[in-house]
Amino acid sequence: MIALGADHAGYEYKEKIKNLLQSLGMEYRDWGTDSTASTDYPDYAHKVAEIVASGKAEFGILVCGTGIGMSIVANKHKGVRAGNVESIEAAKYARLHNNANILAIGARLISWEQAKEIVKIFLQTKFEGGRHQQRVEKIHSLTNL
């Protein structure tokens, strides 16, 4: 399952992502927002990150104006590796090398066509593991501080 969340700036892309996921036969749950009325991005980022961190969703997709705020909030949750992605190549490596489990995108920074391809690549790319596994493990290790 994929958990979706957006603030007012990301609402329209989130709705399009729902249609994309349906066309790909992927299950999702929408955690809001439900309109373009001004709202606070942390509310949605925290909810999606909680769902992913708990294992109730394999991936999360967050959309706001830039993706920056959403990724900052999501990365406060243990077990979450949110990548703020603005290119297809970055989406590929976020999964391949970092095993990112949340994709954050900025609706004000990329076109819908770019966003659509980024979402598809992010969801289709498998984590490479190997030498990257020990690096990912260090992300959540407090002994590395």
CB atoms under 10 Å from CB of 1, counted, come to 13
| 41 touches 19 (CB < 8 A) | no
Q: Which of 77, 97, 132, 140 is catalytic?
A: 97
Reply yes or no on whether 132 is catalytic.
no
Neighbours of 70 (CB within 10 A): 33
Tokens of 9: 């700036």
**8 counts as catalytic:** no
- Are 31 and 70 in contact, with CB atoms under 8 Å apart? no
Rounded to 5°, angle at Cα 105 from 131 and 20: 100
Distance CA 93, CA 114 (A): 16
Q: Among 8, 46, 64, 132, which one carries the catalytic annotation? A: 64
Q: Provide the annotated active-site residues.
A: 64, 97
